């Protein structure tokens, strides 16, 4: 790992020693559903919805068989609730039919589920199963990786590939949480706090708004 990558990792670890997944969940199924709900929605809002949701629906079978209008109403405040309800029910139906009612623990299997792409699969694998199969690249990670010149890719998939080459696999899960926390508190999308950024010197020659 390069000196710059090491500096980024160690600096963020000192800043956010308790960084972790901000979605509330108790098992892989709950994390899968919460992550699908988090698309175009804040984790804070998702966490307001899921306690009642998970109290009512406890298994993949419960979600798969829930009346669609009732389920849509339960997740309405997360936005795009028609598509999210369809994807969650479709994913749970597939989990019941092909995976014995349990969320699969491989990238190849997870991305077969409706509403699940690499980002969601990486979230579930890393946090629910402790498997770093890839790097979670959300909007914060994508923005910060480019601002700090850790990656140049124009798509989340390309940025993920670059980050996986730059950092040790054992650090992928932790670093995604660290970058997300950094993106929420300092390296924000609008009006980033560059004056107090401890990683400003790492930005290199990348021409990007912010750093």
Per residue in 196-207, pLDDT (tens digit) is 999 988 775 433
- Residue 169, classified by CB atoms within 10 Å of its CB into exposed (0-12), middle (13-18) or buried (19+), is exposed
Instruction: State residue 172's pLDDT score.
Output: 98
Place of tokens 């936005």: 79
Residue 147's contacts (CB-CB under 8 Å, 6 or more residues apart) are: 187, 192, 203, 206, 208, 209, 210, 211
Instruction: State residue 181's pLDDT score.
Output: 97
Residue-range domain boundaries for the chain: 3-19+135-202, 28-129
Confidence of residue 208 (pLDDT cuts 50, 70, 90): very low
Residues designated catalytic: 119, 138
Residue 97's contacts (CB-CB under 8 Å, 6 or more residues apart) are: none
The Cα diameter of the chain in Å comes to 54
Do the Cβ atoms of 154 and 137 come closer than 8 Å?
Answer: no
Interatomic CA distance for residues 33 and 57, integer angstroms: 11
Q: What is the average per-residue pLDDT within 15-42?
A: 97
Answer yes or no: is pLDDT of 209 > 60: no
Per residue in 116-125, pLDDT (tens digit) is 999 999 999 9
Answer yes or no: is pLDDT of 168 > 60: yes
Q: What is the average per-residue pLDDT within 117-146?
A: 97
DSSP, residue by residue, 78-109: GS-HHHHHHHHHHHHHHHHHHSTTS---SHHH
CATH class, range 28-129: mainly alpha
Which tokens in the block code for residue 151? 């990656």
Q: Which CATH number fits domain 3-19+135-202: 3.20.190.10, 3.40.50.360, 1.20.120.550, 1.10.1670.10?
A: 1.10.1670.10
Answer yes or no: is pLDDT of 164 > 70: yes
| End-to-end Cα spacing for the chain | 23
Q: What is the average per-residue pLDDT within 77-88?
A: 98
Q: What is the average per-residue pLDDT within 168-175?
A: 97
Give the global pTM.
Answer: 0.92
């Amino acid at each position: 790992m390069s000196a710059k990558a090491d500096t980024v990792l160690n600096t963020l670890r000192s800043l956010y020693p308790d960084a972790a997944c901000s979605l509330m969940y108790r098992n892989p199924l709950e994390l899968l559903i919460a992550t699908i709900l988090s698309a175009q929605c804040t984790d804070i809002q998702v966490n307001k919805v899921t306690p009642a949701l998970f109290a009512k629906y406890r298994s993949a079978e419960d979600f798969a068989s829930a009346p669609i209008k009732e389920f849509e109403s339960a997740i309405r405040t997360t936005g795009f609730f028609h598509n999210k309800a369809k994807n969650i029910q479709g994913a749970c139906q597939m989990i019941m039919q092909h995976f014995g009612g349990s969320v699969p623990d491989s990238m190849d299997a997870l991305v077969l589920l409706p509403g699940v792409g690499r980002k969601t699969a990486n979230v579930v694998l890393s946090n629910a199963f402790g498997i770093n199969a890839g790097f979670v690249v959300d909007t914060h990670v994508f923005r910060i990786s480019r601002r700090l010149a850790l990656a140049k890719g124009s798509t989340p998939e390309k940025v993920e590939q670059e980050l996986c080459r730059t950092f040790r696999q054992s650090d992928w899960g932790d670093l995604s949480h660290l970058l997300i926390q950094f993106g929420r508190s300092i390296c924000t999308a609008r009006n980033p706090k560059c004056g107090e950024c401890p990683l400003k010197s790492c930005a290199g020659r990348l021409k990007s708004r912010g750093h």
